[in-house]
Each structure stands twice: as structure tokens, then as C-alpha cells.
Amino acid sequence: MIDQIYRKAVLTVSGQKFVENIVRKQGWGLAQRFVAGEEVDGAIAAVKELQAEGIQGNMDLLGEFVASPEKANEFAQKVLHLLDAAHAAGVMPYASVKLSAVGQGQTVDGQDLGLTNGRRIVGKAKEYGGFICLDMEDHPRVDQTLSQFRTLAEEFGTQHVGTVLQSYLYRTEADRDSLDDLSPNLRIVKGAYLEPESVAMPDKADVDASYRKLVYAHMKAGNYVNIGTHDESIIEDVKHFALAHGIEKDAYEFQMLYGVRRDLQRELAAAGYRVRAYIPYGRDWYPYFSRRIAERPANVMFILKGMLKG
């Protein structure tokens, strides 16, 4: 409950425009701990740096809730440029995309623009042998995102597109079960949006229990699972579960955030586990930065110390 109160307080404060203006003015240097620059070259350089340590990358051009078809198409074109640039640099294009950023919910020529642009993006990734993860957003968008994921998975194959499930939503166990026929590649996360208690679990213990249940169920079903957490107790439990059930290390991977627990990422990679860092970049970094601060009090202390230094 304390964690829920803390997250709600931080997200409420960060949503105030005057706070955003202050942080945007003073906080970019600090945000670079979590964001790999504002341009695509920074993201690709970050991937190559991590690959030298045996860690793979998942690039994400930051942006969400685009309001017009023109802006959505512009954003989609930037994602396509990312895939082209990664391929040209010898990096397998592996990227995350929020469908709301490429037009989800906007109808153009009788089709949802998010799905239209999703087809363009996943098709390009498939051309290069890459992968697109459709990020999950707040709960009103879950149904449409899962529906569009199913469409794209059936058209392009689950080896080229996956999505994300959030353990703090009560509905998620049923959502995972409903996708089993696809043998989907899923990333499991706890959830970082400010959600009402009517749809999301308020207590950390319940969220953690739900998280373990989702990961174990997906593993036992024989599906590839991305364990998106820095929680060492969960990581250890997953390792023991996989060992006890004869699940090989190439059937799952640990995904963590760029700039967070780099020591743990290196440790897992050195032990032979697949590790992938989620590497955000772009000029629209403030919402993402706010959610990272809301996740851990230690992140607030990092920011405050940085601001005091300069």
C-alpha cells in the first residue's frame, strides 16, 4: 500500500505542468541515466555498447497518445527509420512501439491507423529478421492492443511481433490464457501506470504473486517469456522454477531498463542467461522519466542529488 501511495504521489506531482517545465529545463542531464539520447544514433550506440557485454537491446522511440493522423504517420516513419538505421549498422532491429503513438483509435479510410502503421512497422522488422514488441499502456487500451496484436501475430508470425502483459491488472491472467493458441512471445511487467483500484491491485505482495503466476504459466505452456523486472527475489525464483521444470535458458530472457541495475544485467549475462536492456530514446522523454522516478524512491534521491550538484 505504501508503494501505491508513493507512486500515485509522484505521478500526480509530475503531471503538473510547472513541474514538467522545471524538470525539462534542468533534468535532461539526469534523464540520460535512463534515456539513450534524443536521436536514433544514440540508441544504436547504446545497443552496441551493451552487446559488447553480452547484453542485447530493445530500442524504443519515446512518444504516446498522438492526437492527429499526420503526427501518427510521422511517428511511424521515425520508427521505420530506426529499423532501417539499425539494420544498416549491423544491429538486429528489436524495438518496442506504443500503438497509440502510431494512430491507435484514429480511423483513416475505414481502418484503425494504429493497425495500419503497425503492419508497416512489423512488416519492415520481418524483412530484416527483427522483432517488434507492442507495448501495453493504461487499462482502457488493453482490449484493442491485444486484438491488434493477435491480428499482427497471425499475419507476420510471433517470431516477429510480441506484446506486454501487466501483472497488477486483475484481468491479466485471463488475457494470458486467451493468447495461448498463438504461442506468443510476451514480456511480463508489473505495471507503471496510475490505475484505479477497481482494475489494478493496490498491494505490492499481490502484484508480485500475480507476476510469478503469469511467468510460470507462460513457461509451462512452452511459450517464450521476457521477464521484465529488477526484483532479485523474482529473478531467483524464476531461475529455480526453470531449473526444476527442465526449461532451457534459451526459452526465456530477463529484460531490464537501460541505466538500472547494470551490475545485475552483467551478472546474469555472465552466468549464461539471455539479458536484454530496454533502451528508450527521443525528445518526448518526460512521461517515461516520470514513471521511472515513480517506481523506486531511490530514483528520486538520484535526481535530487544531481540537481543539488548543479
Q: What's the first-to-final CA gap in the chain, in angstroms?
A: 34
Could you tell me the CA-to-CA distances from 18 to 13, 15, 24, 204 in Å, in that order? 10, 9, 10, 30
**Stated length of the chain:** 310
179 by DSSP, 3-state: which? Answer: helix
Evaluate whether 238 touches 214 at the Cβ level (below 8 Å).
no
Question: Helices marked H in 180-261 — which ranges?
Answer: 204-220, 232-244
- Check if 135 is active-site: yes
Catalytic residue among 135, 138, 175, 208: 135
- Check if 187 is active-site: yes
Nearest to 252 by CA among 234, 294, 260, 307: 234
Could you tell me the CA-to-CA distances from 97 to 13, 119, 145, 159, 281 in Å, in that order? 26, 12, 11, 16, 12
Catalytic residue among 7, 141, 187, 274: 187
Rounded Cα distance, 144 and 257, in Å: 26
Residues forming the active site:
135, 187
